[in-house]
Amino acid sequence: MWSSKPLTAMIREAITSDIPQIQVVRNAVKENTLSNPSLVTDQDCAEFLTQRGKGWVYETSGRVVGFSIADLKAHNIWALFVHPEYEKKGIGKQLHDVMLNWYFMQTAQTVWLGTAPGTRAEAFYRKAGWTATGSHGKGEIRFEMTAEKWNTLNNQ
């Protein structure tokens, strides 16, 4: 059961032992749901956390309630999710900013992501300054962020 009590919270680098809680958050979301939860395996998560890029978790009282993962190999955002009971508290924005700051310290390569149209995620990325550049996958909107734009947004 998710607690509504005031909690201590922090963002930290994700580690492989966080994967079970990351999967709980990923499968609890109401938008951009997986048609088949077995499509994103624990092994996939471990690969993205340890070989392809890096991830962060937002932890409150020892529980992961949000996470983000950047992929340096494909230059994309592999994941950014917040448990529905913790939405609209600024957690996604904090995870987003930590992730992009790290990403652009590693490379100046433009980063991209895909998300379903008409979702809160679409509105979130537009508000965060991402540029829609077309479509991706099965009808998702492809968004991009350049290092130059991020640096400008981050220094305002």
Nearest to 81 by CA among 144, 37, 14, 23: 23
Distance CA 153, CA 107 (A): 17
Decide if pLDDT at 99 tops 70. Answer: yes
Strand locations in the chain (E): 9-13, 53-60, 63-71, 76-82, 111-115, 131-136, 140-145
pLDDT of residue 62: 87
Question: Where in the chain are the domains?
Answer: 9-154
Q: Say how many CA atoms lie within 13 Å of 85 toward its Cβ.
A: 13
35-52 confidence digits (pLDDT tens): 555 667 888 889 999 999
Do 100 and 79 contact (CB within 8 A), yes or no? no
pLDDT of residue 38: 64
Whether domain 9-154 has CATH 3.40.50.10490: the reply is no
